[in-house]
A and B are shown apart, each in its own frame.
Chain A
Amino acid sequence: MALIRTENLSHTYSTGTPFERVAVHDINFTAEKGEYVGIIGATGSGKSTFIQHLNGLLKPTTGNVYYDGTDIHESKKHTHDIRFKVGLVFQYPEYQLFESTVFDDIAFGPKNMGLPEDEIRERVYEAAGFVGLGESFMEKSPFGLSGGEKRRAAIAGVIAMRPEVLILDEPTAGLDPQGQAEIIRNIMSYKATHGATVLLVTHNMEEIARNVNRIVLLNKGNIVMDGTPAHVFSESERLSKLGLAAPKASLIAAKLRTLGLPLEQDIYTLKRLRKNLNELKGESGKLKAENEQHEIMAGQMNRPPVLQQEDVTGQMNRPPVWDANDGGEQHA
């Protein structure tokens, strides 16, 4: 049975005023235990409103939300208990820090659960471990930490409740690449240890391509796509119409395909692209020039993605053109 399920979920803000606005409309969504779902959509597509229904912060205008088969708005107490099972990490969670030490702040959630002192301690240390904050951080003030450390402390505050479902709203926004990678690793290690379901809301397609096994695409409050990354990213034109872009790797693959390379259809990570290119290189001893280009590409895989696309497409296009021109001039 689905762990979390919404049934015809709709939400309208400021009903009956001139500012009335439908944020999500008739959403039927399910997530199984252990799934890793990416939620994407342009700004204003209703992602944040949607996820706030899953832990009962917002009450649906119409429709229902079920957790493990029970309606989460069954009673006030039940809704309150659900919040410990469905952990929600807001955007910029570091702004919710308030305690005088990191330990106390992470302990806020477990304390509200009414756990005994030693269990709280254990959970705080475990959660801090997941996000890579060592013992030396515990007695520090959260306000003295760096941006990335603050973010991780705040995420630990939710993880310490050991939620079965962990929802994160753009957890990597505004961090440097290293900090981003670290947060994603932290989430993965929590998921691996507790078998939790993770819903990740993000604008970062590379991030989502590397990790999730299912993508839900929201547009104007509706789910317009729901499927594997390969399926969703194969429709790059549709994505760009909805204000999004497929990961760079799948764009590069598409471009290479139009240039005549027989690449496979389900490429959306650089790793996969590189592997496929190497395979092609191995099986065909065709043109020397093409082989050289593969090597150039393989060498560039570690660079930041933005540069890659331009460099690669540039390299793919130019050399033959120059050759032709040079040849032409010589003949003339």
Chain B
Amino acid sequence: MLKDITLGQFFPGDTLVHRLDPRTKLILMVVYITALFMAKGFPAYTFMLAVLITCLAVSRIKPKAIFRGLKPIFIIICITVILNIFFIRGETVLFQYRAIVITQEGLITAVFMASRLMMLIISTFLLTYTTSPITLTDGLERMLSPLKKIKLPVHEFAMMMSIALRMIPTLIEETDKIMSAQKSRGADFETGGLLKRAKAVLPLLIPLFISAFRRADELATAMESRCYHGGEGRTKMKILRFASRDFVALLFGACIVAAVVLLN
């Protein structure tokens, strides 16, 4: 069912990774991804993998959750692998049949590309699985707050993002419900050609949009009746503060980059 989709799902916990400031985690993720793209060769990749596994172990994310999250991008990884295997022509030919040539270089690049992609995605899981959407947007807002000086609506952006994230599960639930209701009236979402299927979605989409607008309207009223008027002069109950663990973590990030440079 639709409910089983993981969409940047947050798994509550109380590990070192969970406790880190969301800004630290955001920065570390960017650092890690940059290092991933800098890494060349087997030692650097192994090192990056080791770092990732250590972080996952510390955060106590279940391997099952990671595999489930990787499922949707499985096809992309496959395509990457296939393209690299067949279209990179190196010198050491391993297999040849008419126009199909597989070389050692192609194979190696394919493996590297696939593992890079997977590590990249998993490192983003590390962020979203251990940070609640609210703290995440809070962190983003704080990080981007200097942009307020050039009149960018950072607060509004962050608020929009947290509302959007908050609404995803609600909308999924709603979709499920409307789908069941229309199925009870004999609607068929599963069989038929493209045109028939596109038509079949209408009884689902129209009520869904109507309820989304209704919800948006109700939420706006609820916010206004609590005197919400944008970010100006708004204070926070929980103010994000860097702790010593955050500085250690950032130092750790710097070490990763240094290590990758050295290993290259």
Contacts and interface: CB of A to CB of B under 8 A. Distances in A.
Contacts of A84: 186
Contacts of B185: 83, 96, 108-109, 112, 157-158, 161
B114 to A, nearest CB: 27
Contacts of A52: 180
A96 B178 contact: yes
B3 interface: yes
B203 A108 contact: yes
Interface in B151-184: 177-178, 180-184
Contact of B186 (A17, A96, A161): A161
Given A108-B203, A143-B210, A95 B178 contact: yes
Given A108-B203, A112-B187, A96 B210 contact: no
A36 B202 CA distance: 35
Contacts, number: 58
A80 B180 contact: no
Nearest to B183: A57
Contact of B182 (A55, A89, A96): A96
Interface string B206-243: 11001100000000000000000000000000000000
Nearest to B214: A95
Given A112-B187, A158-B185, A57 B210 contact: no
A209 interface: no
Residue picked from A52, A83, A98, A157, most chain B C-beta under 10 Å: A98
Contacts of B183: 57, 83
B207 A87 contact: no
B91 interface: no
A158 to B, nearest CB: 7
Given A98-B202, A143-B210, A113 B180 contact: no
Contacts of A124: none
B186 A113 contact: yes
Contacts of A97: 207
Nearest to B185: A109
A161 B178 CA distance: 18
Nearest to B191: A76
Given A97-B207, A98-B202, A143-B210, A14 B184 contact: no
A109 B181 CA distance: 11
A93 interface: yes
Chain B interface size, as a band, is: 10 to 19
Contacts of B178: 95-96
Contacts of B14: none
Nearest to A56: B183
A96 B3 CA distance: 19
Interface in B242-261: none
B181 A98 contact: no
Given A14-B4, A95-B178, A143-B210, A90 B184 contact: yes
Contact of A90 (B3, B181, B203, B211): B181
Chain A interface size, as a band, is: 20 to 34
A90 B180 contact: yes
A12 to B, nearest CB: 13
Interface string A77-104: 0001001100111100101111000000
A109 B3 CA distance: 26
A90 B177 CA distance: 9
Nearest to A111: B186
Contact of A88 (B3, B184, B187): B184
Given A90-B180, A96-B181, A109 B186 contact: yes
Interface in B115-147: none
A89 B177 CA distance: 12
A134 B206 CA distance: 25
B204 to A, nearest CB: 8
A158 B177 CA distance: 16
Interface in B1-58: 3-4
Given A98-B203, A98-B206, A98-B207, A14 B186 contact: no
Nearest to A96: B181
Contacts of B188: 80, 112
B182 A83 contact: no
Nearest to A89: B184
Contacts of A112: 185-188
Residue picked from A84, A93, A96, A143, most chain B C-beta under 10 Å: A96
A83 B181 contact: no
Contacts of A158: 184-185
Contacts of A109: 185-186
A87 B184 CA distance: 7
Nearest to A100: B206
Interface of A: 14, 17, 52, 55, 57, 80, 83-84, 87-90, 93, 95-98, 108-109, 112-113, 143, 157-158, 161
16 contacts: A14-B4, A52-B180, A57-B184, A80-B186, A83-B185, A84-B186, A90-B177, A93-B181, A95-B177, A95-B210, A98-B202, A98-B203, A108-B182, A109-B185, A109-B186, A161-B185
State the 7 A-B residue pairs at the shortest beta-carbon distance, nearest first.
Answer: A112-B186, A98-B206, A96-B181, A109-B185, A88-B184, A90-B181, A98-B203
